[in-house]
Amino acid sequence: MQRYFINQPANISDNVLLPDNVAHHLVKVMRAQVGTRAEFVTNDQHVFIGEIFSIDGSKTFVKMVEPLKTQSELPVNVIIACGVPKGEKASLITQKATELGVSKIIFFDAQWSVSRWKSEKRDKKLDKLRKIASGAAEQSHRNVIPKIDYCDSLVDVARIDVSKKIVAWEESAKHGEHSALSQVFHDLSNGDTLLAIIGPEGGLSEEEIDLLKKQQVVTAGLGPRILRTETAPLYLLAAISYYFELENY
Q: Does 242 bind a second copy (CB under 8 A)?
A: yes
- Taking each helix axis as running N to C, give the angle between helix 89-99 and helix 119-139, from 0 to 180 degrees, rounded to the nearest 10: 30
Please tell me whether residue 96 binds a second copy under the rule CB under 8 A. yes
The answer to the question of residue 142 lying near a second copy (CB under 8 A) is yes
Among 52, 90, 110, 234, binds a second copy (CB under 8 A): 234
Question: What is the SS3 assignment for 206?
Answer: helix
**Do the Cβ atoms of 241 and 249 come closer than 8 Å?**
no
86 belongs to the binding site for a second copy (CB under 8 A): no
- 100 near a second copy, rule: CB under 8 A: yes
Q: In what order do the strands lie in the sheet with 77-83?
A: 147-151, 104-108, 77-83, 193-198, 164-168, 218-220
Return the number of the residue (191 or 224) whose C-beta is nearest a second copy: 224
For a second copy, the binding residue among 14, 99, 152, 192 (CB under 8 A) is 99
Q: Which stretch of DSSP H or E encloses residue 108?
A: strand 104-108
Least CB distance to a second copy at residue 98 (A): 9
Rounded to a whole number of angstroms, the minimum distance from the CB of residue 6 to a second copy is 19
Using the contact rule CB under 8 A, the part of the chain among 47-55, 105-113, 195-203, 230-238 near a second copy is 230-238
- Interaction between residue 140 and a second copy (CB under 8 A): yes
Task: State yes or no: residue 69 binds a second copy (CB under 8 A).
Answer: no
Residue 40 contacts a second copy per CB under 8 A: no
Please, are residues 130 and 148 in contact by the beta-carbon 8 Å criterion? yes
128-137: long-range contacts (C-beta < 8 A, 24 or more apart)? 128/91, 129/90, 129/91, 129/94, 129/105, 132/91, 132/94, 132/95, 132/98, 133/94, 133/95, 133/98, 133/105, 134/5, 135/95, 136/94, 136/95, 136/96, 136/98, 136/99, 137/5, 137/98
Q: Is 139 in the site for a second copy (CB under 8 A)?
A: yes
Compare residues 115 and 241 and give the one whose CB is closer to a second copy: 241
Q: Which stretch binds a second copy (CB under 8 A): 5-13, 14-22, 43-51, 133-141?
A: 133-141
Cα 150 to Cα 126: distance, rounded to the nearest angstrom: 8
Closer CB to a second copy, residue 215 or residue 241?
A: 241
| Binds a second copy (CB under 8 A): choice among 49, 145, 211, 239 | 239
Give the whole-angstrom CA distance, residue 183 versus residue 180: 5
Residues found near a second copy in the complex (CB under 8 A): 70-72, 96, 99-101, 139-142, 178-179, 181-182, 221-228, 231, 234-236, 238-239, 241-243, 245-247, 249
